Structures are given as C-alpha cells and as structure tokens.
Amino acid sequence: MGDPRKQKRKFAKPKHLWKVSRIEEENALTKEYGLKNKREIWRARSRLRGFRQQARSLLAATGESAEKEKKELAGKLNRLGILEGKNFDDVLGLEVKNILERRLQTLTVKKGLASTPKQARQLIAHKHVRVGGRVMNTPGYLVPKAHEDLIALDETYAKKVAK
C-alpha cells in the first residue's frame, strides 16, 4: 500500500539559541509548568504561531469562506479553552502561557490531583490519570474545555493512595 509517512517536526528551534533573555524566560516556564525540556516550550510556541498566522490571514481576508474559517478557528480555540469567549482579534494577543495552561500536566496540578507539576507528570506517565474514563499517558495533551471536569485519578491508584 505504500510506506508510512515520515514524521515531521512539530516545533521550530529559536534562531539564536544562546540568547540569555530567552533562556531565562524558558527556564522560568520550565520550572513553573514542570516541563521536561525546552522542546516542549518550542512546540507550544509553534502551535501558537500557527494559530496566530491563520488569524492574521483571516483578518485580512474577506468573503464567506473567510468568515466561516474565522468561526471554525474561534470555535476550536474556545473548545480547547485557549480563547474563552473573547473577541476573534484577541487570538493575536495569545501567549505561550495560554497554551501551557491547557496541558493535562498543568490541569492535574490545578485540580489538586498532584501536589507539584513533576508529580503530575509522573502520574500521567505511569497511566494513573484518566480523562473521561480513558487512560492518558501524554503530559502535553491539550485538554478540551468539555473534558476538564472529567480529569480523575485511576480507581486502583486512588485506592492505594487512600490506604
């Protein structure tokens, strides 16, 4: 049938790797959100860059299809909880923190299921966290707003901890 597709990078490295201000900013984000490496920040930046580029092109475009695409992009960002009911123009004002706040790892800490981001990452990696009854083992999973209340610890793990 054909060969599988080659996976492509989902991030772009910074143009200047050793810029002190960027490194300090990334170190602060890494500590705050318990990220494994800088690549996770770069991945979030690339995702945000894609949303912003799409928004810029849609703001400049006119016509029915542009309006439809605006609604689709705004709907997607609202479903993810990144652009909560704000104006479409606010897409350009989004920051990396908005994306990092929607990660499963961050939401696990905010719900109180884990005391630190690193503990949350470990619980997720060891398959002790469920989202809507489904086991999730990806700390970087962007949780849709509708599933935010469905984040819970696995029953067997919760029983072990309760003892």
Q: What is the CATH number of the domain that holds 126?
A: 3.10.290.10
Single pTM value for the model: 0.92
Q: Are residues 78 and 33 part of one domain?
A: yes
Q: Classify residue 11: in a domain, yes or no.
A: no
The length of the chain is 163
Decide: 82 and 99 in contact? Cβ < 8 Å: yes
pLDDT at 105 over 90: yes
pLDDT at 84: 86
* Domain extent at residue 127: 104-162
Decide: 19 and 38 in contact? Cβ < 8 Å: no
Question: Considering 48, 72, 100, which residue would you say is the last residue of a domain?
Answer: 100
pLDDT at 158: 87
Q: How many domains does the chain have?
A: 2
Report the chain's mean pLDDT, rounded to a whole number.
95
pLDDT at 162: 80
Which letter does DSSP use for residue 134 in this model? E
Q: Are residues 141 and 85 part of one domain?
A: no
Sequence-distant (6+) residues with CB within 8 A of 34 are 105, 109, 116, 117, 118, 120, 121
